[in-house]
Amino acid sequence: MIIDDQYYDVIIIGTGAGGGTLARKLAPTGKKILILERGELIYRESSELVDTEVFKKEQYHAKDAWFDNEGEPFYPQTYYSVGGNTKIWSGVLQRMRERDFEQVQHQGGVSPAWPLKYQDFEPYYTEAEKLYQAHGKVENDPTEPPHSEAYPFAEIAHEPMLQSIGDTLSQQGLHPVHLPLGVGDRGRTDAEDTGVSPVLTSDNVTLKTSAQVVSLHTNPSGAEIKAVEAKIGGQSYLFLGDIIVLACGAVNSAALLLRSANEKHPNGIANGSGQVGRNFMKQLLSVVVQLTASANSGTFSRTLGLNDFYWGDKDFPYPLGHVQNSGGILQDVIFAEAPPILSALSRLMPNFGLRQLATHSIGWWLQTEDLPNANNRVHYVGDKLRIDYTPNNVEAHDRLVYRWIDVLKNVEATQPSAFNRTTHPRSDMPIQVLAHQCGTCRFGEDPATSVLNLDCRTHEVHNLYVVDSSFFPSHASVSPGLTVIANALRVGDRLIQQLSS
């Protein structure tokens, strides 16, 4: 094993929304920072897909198998590159709703309150929107929380077909809005172009790619991390630093803590509570396809969202969730996980090729909050990484799907020549799709029931932090990316204070 001859003030493991943002925040301190990334630096935005390559099975999946409840292997849709999963995200930068931070009764159970509230995150949401160049507009959304400042850039216009749908929704008394999107000179902003790449010219920042972190090593007392072990090119290296930050994603951060077990931490580092890996959540995600009579480009952005059913409906007093268009199907990476949709479209439109199917349809993403459950967990069985996960809050999600299909039918009835109203194919995202994963290292004030304190530092190891979505004590129905970014900026302020003392 090779011991690196450098000593770092901060070692950041992972370069996604959390790690990449934190690197950008800390770089101006002049402190010596090492960034370790399992993947490579890819300058081309991975979400800029070429035609029908999006439909190639498992193009954006990890090569290492994980295992499900039944012990069956699967290859997760998680992206290893500088920028992490933000290289294949939609760029939607939504704030959690103010009530999402409170305890909420759902049809499927209780979503617990957060120990911090919306007002604690609001300044960092604003900072995050500026950093990631959010284009948006505060509109007549019944759930939109208060903003201290307007979005830094104007909203992205809808495609004509979507604008027409939005106008019809408004006429029906609903409240369609422009989704806030991160857009820069190179297209959608991500954690590589916004977080990591801008700081690589700094003398105090070092990036090592193809560096798979395999273990954390503590001092003899177990009170602090003394070294990070990573494999680079088949060789094992030890990197030494004062502050260690995990930002590997909710599954991989928990997995790293678990497999780093030692004499002082026999159940995994920082796992005295037994909560590491517990309460794994991933939103209930479905895609519904609306068939159109005329063609579209197949490559337009997600721009239209709707939250009228976020907290329920007239016939259902429990939260349902969020709706947004998928963007052009030819550029939607996660849509590739919905092969039943493609089969249904082929049967409905037998004379159309794959490209024509995609360009004569509009996809709609429906997102419902998944509730924390200690039995939904990340853990090891021998050397196999296992994700035990059973969806919950399913009735609420099904009701959202049916409610939205009713809305689409009403829209189509006003424009009968614009739509092929044969049916509305639906597909639910399987365990392989880990979009919006969170919750495996929840933060809180009680070390018996949480892994991290309110600064996202582990209760048991005083120099170890986690800044990805692992810290969420509950999920919301909006996309979590902006909250991860905002939290990384918040934790960054705490670390800057610590580094300057």
Which whole number is the average pLDDT over 91-99? 97
Grouping H, G, I as helix, E, B as strand and the rest as coil, residue 2 is strand
* 336 closest CA partner among 49, 43, 119, 12: 49
Which whole number is the average pLDDT over 113-133? 98
Torsion angle in degrees (nearest 10) through CA of 263, 264, 265, 269: -120
Of residues 482 and 295, the one with the higher pLDDT is 482
Q: Within its chain, how far is the Cα of 388 from the centroid?
A: 19
Element (H, E) at 232: strand 225-232
Measured in degrees and rounded to the nearest 5, phi and psi for residue 251 equal -75, -50
Fold of the domain spanning 2-500: FAD/NAD(P)-binding domain (3.50.50)
305: its two tokens: 């969202």
Which whole number is the average pLDDT over 407-422? 89
Q: Dump pLDDT digits (tens) for 277-302.
A: 999 999 999 989 888 888 777 777 88
DSSP letters, 47-92, are: TS--GGGGGSTTTT--SS-EE-TTS-EE--B---BTTGGGGSS--B
Q: Dump pLDDT digits (tens) for 422-436.
A: 788 888 888 888 889
| pLDDT score at 340 | 62
| pLDDT score at 321 | 98
- The answer to whether residue 233 scores a pLDDT higher than 80 is yes
- DSSP conformation class of 40: B
> Which residue matches tokens 């337009």?
300
Which whole number is the average pLDDT over 459-481? 97
Which whole number is the average pLDDT over 466-492? 98
Average per-residue pLDDT for the chain: 91
Which whole number is the average pLDDT over 144-167? 96
Please tell me the distance from the alpha carbon of residue 229 to that of residue 213, in angstroms, as a whole number.
Answer: 6
In which order are the strands placed within the sheet that holds 426-428? Answer: 177-178, 304-306, 322-325, 361-368, 284-291, 426-428
Say if residues 96 and 476 touch (Cβ distance below 8 Å). yes
* 306 closest CA partner among 441, 443, 192, 169: 169
Q: Dump pLDDT digits (tens) for 307-326.
A: 999 999 999 999 999 999 98
Q: Kindly report the number of other CB atoms within 10 A of residue 439's CB atom.
A: 29
Of the pLDDT bands very low, low, confident and very high (cuts 50, 70, 90), residue 231 is very high
Of the pLDDT bands very low, low, confident and very high (cuts 50, 70, 90), residue 382 is very high
| pLDDT score at 54 | 44
Say if residues 329 and 291 touch (Cβ distance below 8 Å). no
| pLDDT score at 398 | 98
Which whole number is the average pLDDT over 89-116? 96
98-107, 355-364, 406-415 — which is least confidently predicted?
Answer: 355-364
Please tell me the distance from the alpha carbon of residue 177 to that of residue 175, in angstroms, as a whole number.
Answer: 6
> Which residue matches tokens 């409610």?
403
> Which residue matches tokens 């770092």?
8
| pLDDT score at 72 | 96
DSSP letters, 292-307, are: BSS---S-PPP-EEE-
Domain residue ranges of the chain, discontinuous segments joined by + = 2-500
Say if residues 119 and 284 touch (Cβ distance below 8 Å). no
| pLDDT score at 53 | 47
> Which residue matches tokens 């092929």?
420
Residues facing residue 213 across a β-bridge:
230
Residue 141, Ramachandran bin (φ over 0: left; ψ between -120 and 50: alpha; else beta): beta
Element (H, E) at 397: helix 394-414
- Specify the length of the chain in residues: 501
Say if residues 256 and 461 touch (Cβ distance below 8 Å). no
Say if residues 495 and 247 touch (Cβ distance below 8 Å). no
Q: Dump pLDDT digits (tens) for 27-76.
A: 999 999 999 999 998 765 544 444 444 444 556 677 889 999 999 999 98
